[in-house]
Structure 1
Amino acid sequence: MKNQKLLVAASAAALLLLSACSKVNADNYAKIDAGMTRDEVHSILGSPDDSSGGGIGDLTMTTETWKGSKQTIRISFVGDKVALKALGGKDEK
């Protein structure tokens, strides 16, 4: 029983630490600049939670979304370069 309580407490502490380390925040959003490559953005924010896109001929546009507990970051790429970015709160769609 004592080991079980210790395991639950350790798991809760680990979850709290991981949630506090979210890369989806205003500081990281501010590091993203127009013209950055997708790889540069991924090195700052990690892998996106969602991605959608399309193209016409040789022109492709992709929007990638990172979802944090309090904020969402959306980055639109034309080709492989940042064209647009948006930072929203948890309740924004």
Structure 2
Amino acid sequence: MKNRRVRSWMRNLGIGAICGTLLLAGCSRVTAESYAKLNVGMPRAEVYGILGDPDEVSGGAIGPLNFSAETWKGSDQTIHVTFGGDKVALKSIQKNPAD
């Protein structure tokens, strides 16, 4: 009886994990709507609040100016944001090529 409960619990846990993964995959934050919310001069923390953590980050400094180029990849499109210091300096969105 106890083994049956454990197996049932494990099966339900597995089904729940699969459903949760599919649900998260279906609600990407990388959309034209979220891109439209981004504005030049916006703080990095606000961008992260809209898009989450970036998939790729690169950066550097020229004298006292720090900059970083950050990328968020979705299933349909990719958003690129360049930060000067901690503020949005440039933004762009591109449609991902069809496989």
Q: Same fold (TM over 0.5)?
A: yes
- TM superposition outliers: structure 1 runs of 4+ over 6 Å: 2-8
Residue 69 of structure 2 corresponds to which residue in structure 1?
63
Aligned sequence identity (%) = 49
Q: CA deviation at 1:15?
A: 2.8
Q: 1:73 aligns with which of 73, 76, 79?
A: 79
RMSD value, Cα: 2.1
* Separation (CA, whole Å) in 2 of partners of 1:38 and 1:49: 15
Q: CA deviation at 1:87?
A: 0.6
Q: CA deviation at 1:63?
A: 0.6
Q: CA deviation at 1:14?
A: 2.8
Q: How does 1:1-93 map to 2 (within 5 A)?
A: 10-91=16-97
Deviation digits for residues 27-73 of structure 1 (CA, Å, limit 9, x no counterpart): 10000000001111001100001100111110111110001111111
Q: CA deviation at 1:12?
A: 4.3
* Separation (CA, whole Å) in 2 of partners of 1:23 and 1:83: 20
> What TM-score, normalized by structure 1, do the two folds share?
0.83
Of structures 1 and 2, the larger Rg is shown by: 2
Q: CA deviation at 1:13?
A: 3.2
Q: Which runs of 5+ in 1 are unaligned?
A: none
- Amino acid in the other structure paired with 1:58: P
